[in-house]
Chain A
Amino acid sequence: MLYGNLGLMVLKTLEALGPLHGYRIARRIEQISGHQLAMNQGTLYPALLKLEQRGWISSKWGASDSGRRVKLYALTRAGRGQLRIQEAEWRDATGIVARFLDIQEDRSR
């Protein structure tokens, strides 16, 4: 489930921090998840490519903080819109699931 929402996390990261290269995105996701997300950093790249193919993020070559040549990813306008939609969907879905869990607790009491 979490893996399927890697895209959403990437979009959110880029919205929060602006253009980043792959390694920084991976680190950020690890940090936010409190290192509970056992993810190979490599899996990030196919996800980035998919997002780029959909036109939600764009990439260009630039320099990292240490001056290394890296590909920088940035959120596009379409990506910003998509983020809004996915955020809302995700909140709805988790809300529904949360309510189900609440009901079960009621009964057990």
Chain B
Amino acid sequence: MSVRGTWRRLGGLLRPRASDRDLQEEIRGHLEEATEEHVRRGLPPDEARRAALLDFGGVPRVEEEIRDVRGRWLSDLAADVRYGLRSLGRDPLFVTVAILSLAIGIGANTVIFSLVNSILLRPRPVADPDRFVELYVGDRQHPYETCSYPSFLDLQAENGVFSGLAGYSIRQFKLTEGGPAEQVWGEVVTGDYFEVLGVTPLGGGAFGDDDGFLAGGRPVVVIGEGLWRRRFGSDPALIGRAITINGQKLTVAGIAPPRYTGMLRGLSTEVWIPATMLPVLEPTKGLPLLTSRDSRWLTLVARLRPETSVEQARARFDLLSREMQEKHPEEWAWRIPETGAVRELFVSVMRERETRVHPSLGTDVYGLVALLLAIVNVVLLIACLNLAGMLLARAVVRRKEMAIRLAIGAGRGRLVRQLLTESMLLSLAAGAAGMLLTVWVLGLLLSFMPALPEGIRVAIDLRLDWRVLAYTIGFSTITGILFGLAPALQSSKADVSTALKDDASTATGGYRRSRGRRALVVAQVAFSLLLLIGAGLVLRSLDRVRPTSLGFTSDRVLVVPVSLDEARYDRPKSQEFYRQLSERITALPGVRAVSLVEGMPGGFMSRTRRSTEIEGYRAGPEESLEIDSTMVGPRYFTNMRVPIVQGRDFDDRDRDGAPCVAAVNEAFVRRYLAAAGGTPLGRRIAKYDEELTPPQRMCEIVGVVRDDGWQSLQKSARPFYFLALQQSYRTRMSLLVHTEADPAIQTTAVRRVMQELDPSVPATDIQSLSEYFGANVYPFRLLGLFMGGCGVMALLLATVGVYGIVSYSAAQRRREVGIRMALGALQRDVLRVIVGEGMALVAWGLILGLAVSVALTRVLASSLFDTELLFGVSATDPVTFVSVPLLLALVAAVACYVPALRAARVDPIEALRYE
């Protein structure tokens, strides 16, 4: 029975009228041909017609018969299902184990798939995603970057291939309306943003012209549905009212639809503000963002004209990139002064589906997805092997039944179909159970998500949709065939006469017949070992990312994000605010010290890549000196217990007006300074700071710190440097409060101090550094939990498999055991033989599994997102590679021993009489 045939029949059933029409047409054709032939032989037309009808026999009867044939397979199917249900119903234990183990395999698959679905497969919530593209501007080395505002205006005016081109940039805003001051994530967008997306905010939300910024822009904002509900009680009267954002009154021009949560997948963006408002919102930095070609910060989105293809748009932008390089070399073809190399920028036009994760992260994400899918598929495979083994055992038991059915005339195809129907019933039931499991696990995942730092709200839509449903049903079907086919073929092969004559339990040949099952058990043990070793490695490395093993302290530290309005805090005022805040909080009882940091150590968003010049170091022609760095305040290294290898910590002297200072890590010294020899102290690096004169920008290195003092989760120590926070202008930074007791106790006091100093500064998202870390490590914990879960599953399934084969072979050899014992064999000897046979299989499985593991665990050791999956644990970690096989062997030994003991306790007389 071919798959195509099945489809055709299904088609005929689902469209009975269409196939009836086909049939009538076919019969009409037949009659016309026949009539024609009779006419050719000399009959008059009406005679000929009559003769044709006569030859054909009754048309209605033929039609009826055809309908019968069409419908028969369905009634066969119904009979198979009924029979299958009855036959399964006789063996509830088998059914329970089968459905449970498969459900877990399918469920694990569906969970991973629904994650993949919501991140990679589901289009972003824009209208007609096929015509929606995202544009990145960058050089060959980093092609997927952003564009300056003046260049955006040029591209918008000259592209000719888009019906609309808009830009956006993700930022944090401070909201002081409808409750305490709060940080919310939002996007600064250009005027056509919502039109290009095809998303219509409730209330319109017009943003005005993109070049209107000199006139002061349009003080409007569109807010997200979530924010509207959370902070404003879904009050429709909010539209048209002014709310205060970053200290400015902005009129609410619209509410975004609930499903629209911004362009960045995963981050819930809740306010949209026209870019033309930047000079008002950020008085010092805002205007240059709109006028200067030096600051590239816009990501571009566009909608293709109906008659234009992506390829045409690409061709157009290749040309346009060239033109821009000629017209604006200062941004588009920038010459690096020392080396003379030219960094040419070009535009990449990417389809919507290529940008669901940022293209530069694409390979990492696909790698992770492939890894996770591979793992869950191994679990499913083990479950299938297990089930195939159980079905083979059932097949032996059912040999007589099959032989009788064959003897009374059932075709072999019919029997295979019957048996496949049974395994399909199992796998579809398991698919349904797996779906329930998925819903439960996804709910659990969301509810266990830790509070995220920096006011980040996750927008991940894990609803199950048709794709997930189709995937699960498809997978269940394939699974059913996979584990059902071999046993079905085997058992329908039964040779009628021998099967009826010979009682399965007498045959010592049963041992030979179970060869297939034994191979299955070996494979199961091997795959289980692979998963267990993978789980062991990940769990062991997770053990190492506990905050205690980091290169800095995270014990009793409170993280307080601070964000100031640029409009009210210029450079000196902000520095003074930080100084006063530090002073007042340090004075609180129970507080030991306070540190200032630009980004958080060890976490995401923990570093800024800065274009750097190092005195006395010449970069190679292809080398870009963009080095990771951060800014920290006075006494940071001392407070955080980061070992200073050479020189001194930053202190209160290091402020504006004093000579600029920097600190570097050891990797920085090795990479850039060691070649020149001598001490790194006193060497200088240049920082970028528009408000300083070139000589003032030269910062002297005053300290060298240990490599793991900042980025502990990195693959290998990378060059990193620190600048003094009080020698720069930052409106956003974090305060680290070092306390004597539980840091959470200080939250209220800290909040009060901030309110006293300036009530408009949000005092939200305060959490302890270990909590902050928890959020950072959460994905890795999840991975560990996931791998551990898969490992335990694999162990359980392998145990069931080993137990099954041993008890089966023990039962088969009941008579043999009886004879041996009658001849004087001891229980001990019998035990040794049976356990030995089982353990031989396990040993084969372990050897195979070890070989596969050595080959495959390397994958885990490769890095994803700059972060290793295995921190400081080798891919062939001896502890894991010894202890895990031992554990598996031990469990398997128990699984062998129990049924073997039962066999050895047999009373020889009883066993022999049974014959």
Which residues of A approach B to under 8 Å, CB–CB? 21-24, 26-27, 40-43, 45-46, 49-50, 52-55, 64, 66, 68-71, 78
Q: Report chain B residues within 8 Å CB of A40.
A: 55-58, 62
Q: Does B5 reach chain A (CB closer than 8 Å)?
A: yes
Taken together as a complex, chains A and B put the C-alpha atoms of A54 and B58 apart, in Å, by: 26
Is A54 within 8 A of B33, CB to CB? no
What residue in chain B is nearest A58 (Cβ atoms)?
Answer: B4
Interface centre among A24, A43, A45, A54, by most chain B C-beta atoms within 10 angstroms, is: A45
Taken together as a complex, chains A and B put the C-alpha atoms of A71 and B634 apart, in Å, by: 89
Stretch at the interface among B64-72, B423-431, B609-617: B64-72
Is B29 within 8 A of A69, CB to CB? yes
Question: Would you list 14 pairs from A and B whose C-beta atoms are within 8 A, ordered by A residue?
Answer: A21-B29, A21-B30, A22-B26, A23-B33, A26-B30, A45-B26, A45-B62, A46-B62, A53-B69, A53-B73, A54-B5, A55-B2, A64-B29, A78-B2
- Taking the closest CB of chain B, its distance from the CB of A18, in whole angstroms, is 17
- Taking the closest CB of chain B, its distance from the CB of A60, in whole angstroms, is 11
Q: Does B27 reach chain A (CB closer than 8 Å)?
A: yes
Interface centre among A49, A50, A70, by most chain B C-beta atoms within 10 angstroms, is: A49
- Taking the closest CB of chain A, its distance from the CB of B53, in whole angstroms, is 10
Is A41 within 8 A of B5, CB to CB? no
Q: Report chain A residues within 8 Å CB of B22.
A: 71
Is A70 within 8 A of B62, CB to CB? no
Q: Report chain A residues within 8 Å CB of B354.
A: none
| Known pairs A46-B66, A50-B69; A68 contacts B32 (CB<8 A) | yes
Q: Does B25 reach chain A (CB closer than 8 Å)?
A: yes
Taken together as a complex, chains A and B put the C-alpha atoms of A53 and B61 apart, in Å, by: 20
Q: Report chain B residues within 8 Å CB of A64.
A: 29, 33
Q: Report chain A residues within 8 Å CB of B26.
A: 22, 45, 70-71
Taking a contact as CB atoms closer than 8 A, the residue among A21, A23, A53 that contacts B5 in the complex is A53
Is B29 within 8 A of A70, CB to CB? yes
Is B30 within 8 A of A23, CB to CB? yes
What residue in chain B is nearest A71 (Cβ atoms)?
Answer: B26
Taken together as a complex, chains A and B put the C-alpha atoms of A26 and B29 apart, in Å, by: 13
Interface residues of B in 152-199 (CB under 8 A from A): none
Taken together as a complex, chains A and B put the C-alpha atoms of A96 and B1 apart, in Å, by: 31
Interface centre among A41, A69, A71, by most chain B C-beta atoms within 10 angstroms, is: A41
Q: Report chain A residues within 8 Å CB of B69.
A: 46, 49-50, 53
Is A52 within 8 A of B33, CB to CB? no
Q: Which 8 A-B pairs have the closest CB atoms?
A: A40-B57, A42-B62, A55-B2, A42-B57, A23-B33, A70-B29, A46-B65, A55-B5
Q: Does B34 reach chain A (CB closer than 8 Å)?
A: yes
Taken together as a complex, chains A and B put the C-alpha atoms of A40 and B59 apart, in Å, by: 10
- Taking the closest CB of chain B, its distance from the CB of A37, in whole angstroms, is 12
Q: Report chain A residues within 8 Å CB of B8.
A: 52-53
Q: Report chain A residues within 8 Å CB of B33.
A: 21, 23-24, 64, 66, 68, 70
Q: Does B305 reach chain A (CB closer than 8 Å)?
A: no
- Taking the closest CB of chain B, its distance from the CB of A17, in whole angstroms, is 15
Q: Does B36 reach chain A (CB closer than 8 Å)?
A: yes
Is B5 within 8 A of A45, CB to CB? no
Q: Report chain A residues within 8 Å CB of B73.
A: 53
Q: How large is the interface on B (under 10, 10 to 19, 20 to 34, 35 or more residues)?
A: 20 to 34
Interface residues of B in 269-319 (CB under 8 A from A): none
Q: Report chain B residues within 8 Å CB of A66.
A: 33, 36
- Taking the closest CB of chain B, its distance from the CB of A78, in whole angstroms, is 7
Is B32 within 8 A of A42, CB to CB? no
Q: Report chain B residues within 8 Å CB of A41.
A: 30, 34, 55-57
Q: Does B249 reach chain A (CB closer than 8 Å)?
A: no
Q: Report chain B residues within 8 Å CB of A42.
A: 27, 56-59, 61-62
Is A46 within 8 A of B55, CB to CB? no
Q: Report the tally of A-B residue pairs with Cβ distances under 8 A.
A: 78
Is B29 within 8 A of A68, CB to CB? yes
- Taking the closest CB of chain A, its distance from the CB of B169, in whole angstroms, is 58
Taken together as a complex, chains A and B put the C-alpha atoms of A78 and B413 apart, in Å, by: 14
Taken together as a complex, chains A and B put the C-alpha atoms of A23 and B4 apart, in Å, by: 26
Interface centre among A42, A55, A70, by most chain B C-beta atoms within 10 angstroms, is: A42
| Known pairs A41-B30, A69-B29; A55 contacts B58 (CB<8 A) | no
Q: Report chain A residues within 8 Å CB of B648.
A: none
Taken together as a complex, chains A and B put the C-alpha atoms of A28 and B29 apart, in Å, by: 17
13 new A-B contacts, CB < 8 A, other than A45-B65, A69-B29, are A21-B29, A23-B29, A23-B33, A42-B57, A42-B62, A43-B57, A43-B62, A45-B23, A46-B65, A50-B69, A53-B9, A55-B5, A68-B33
The SS class assigned to the A binding surface is helix
Interface residues of B in 1-58 (CB under 8 A from A): 1-2, 4-5, 8-9, 22-23, 25-27, 29-30, 32-34, 36-37, 55-58
Q: Report chain B residues within 8 Å CB of A50.
A: 69
| Known pairs A41-B56, A46-B62; A54 contacts B30 (CB<8 A) | no
- Taking the closest CB of chain B, its distance from the CB of A45, in whole angstroms, is 6
Q: Report chain B residues within 8 Å CB of A52.
A: 5, 8
Q: Report chain B residues within 8 Å CB of A55.
A: 1-2, 4-5
Taken together as a complex, chains A and B put the C-alpha atoms of A54 and B69 apart, in Å, by: 12
Q: Report chain B residues within 8 Å CB of A22.
A: 26, 29-30
Interface string of B355-382 (1 = CB under 8 A from A): 0000000000000000000000000000
Interface string of B108-129 (1 = CB under 8 A from A): 0000000000000000000000
Q: Report chain B residues within 8 Å CB of A27.
A: 37
Q: Report chain B residues within 8 Å CB of A53.
A: 5, 8-9, 69, 73
- Taking the closest CB of chain B, its distance from the CB of A97, in whole angstroms, is 20
Interface residues of B in 52-95 (CB under 8 A from A): 55-59, 61-62, 65-66, 68-70, 73
Taken together as a complex, chains A and B put the C-alpha atoms of A23 and B55 apart, in Å, by: 11
Taking a contact as CB atoms closer than 8 A, the residue among B2, B36, B66 that contacts A45 in the complex is B66
Taken together as a complex, chains A and B put the C-alpha atoms of A18 and B37 apart, in Å, by: 21
Taken together as a complex, chains A and B put the C-alpha atoms of A64 and B70 apart, in Å, by: 26
Q: Report chain A residues within 8 Å CB of B1.
A: 54-55
Q: Report chain A residues within 8 Å CB of B59.
A: 42
- Taking the closest CB of chain A, its distance from the CB of B413, in whole angstroms, is 9
- Taking the closest CB of chain B, its distance from the CB of A64, in whole angstroms, is 6
Q: Report chain A residues within 8 Å CB of B2.
A: 55, 78
Is B34 within 8 A of A23, CB to CB? yes
What residue in chain A is nearest B19 (Cβ atoms)?
Answer: A49
Taken together as a complex, chains A and B put the C-alpha atoms of A52 and B37 apart, in Å, by: 27
- Taking the closest CB of chain A, its distance from the CB of B868, in whole angstroms, is 53
Q: Report chain A residues within 8 Å CB of B34.
A: 23, 41
- Taking the closest CB of chain B, its distance from the CB of A28, in whole angstroms, is 13
What residue in chain A is nearest B34 (Cβ atoms)?
Answer: A23
Q: Report chain A residues within 8 Å CB of B68.
A: 46
Taking a contact as CB atoms closer than 8 A, the residue among B25, B32, B55, B66 that contacts A49 in the complex is B66
Taking a contact as CB atoms closer than 8 A, the residue among A21, A24, A49, A70 that contacts B70 in the complex is A49
Taken together as a complex, chains A and B put the C-alpha atoms of A23 and B36 apart, in Å, by: 12
What residue in chain B is nearest A78 (Cβ atoms)?
Answer: B2
- Taking the closest CB of chain A, its distance from the CB of B841, in whole angstroms, is 39
Taken together as a complex, chains A and B put the C-alpha atoms of A53 and B70 apart, in Å, by: 9
Q: Report chain B residues within 8 Å CB of A49.
A: 66, 69-70
Q: Report chain B residues within 8 Å CB of A69.
A: 25, 29
- Taking the closest CB of chain B, its distance from the CB of A107, in whole angstroms, is 32
- Taking the closest CB of chain B, its distance from the CB of A50, in whole angstroms, is 6
What residue in chain A is nearest B31 (Cβ atoms)?
Answer: A23
Taken together as a complex, chains A and B put the C-alpha atoms of A71 and B4 apart, in Å, by: 18
- Taking the closest CB of chain A, its distance from the CB of B630, in whole angstroms, is 68
- Taking the closest CB of chain A, its distance from the CB of B843, in whole angstroms, is 44
What residue in chain A is nearest B413 (Cβ atoms)?
Answer: A54
- Taking the closest CB of chain B, its distance from the CB of A43, in whole angstroms, is 7
- Taking the closest CB of chain A, its distance from the CB of B23, in whole angstroms, is 8
What residue in chain A is nearest B5 (Cβ atoms)?
Answer: A55
- Taking the closest CB of chain B, its distance from the CB of A96, in whole angstroms, is 19
Taken together as a complex, chains A and B put the C-alpha atoms of A97 and B56 apart, in Å, by: 33
Q: Report chain A residues within 8 Å CB of B9.
A: 53
What residue in chain B is nearest A50 (Cβ atoms)?
Answer: B69
What residue in chain B is nearest A68 (Cβ atoms)?
Answer: B29
- Taking the closest CB of chain B, its distance from the CB of A77, in whole angstroms, is 11
Q: Report chain A residues within 8 Å CB of B5.
A: 52-55
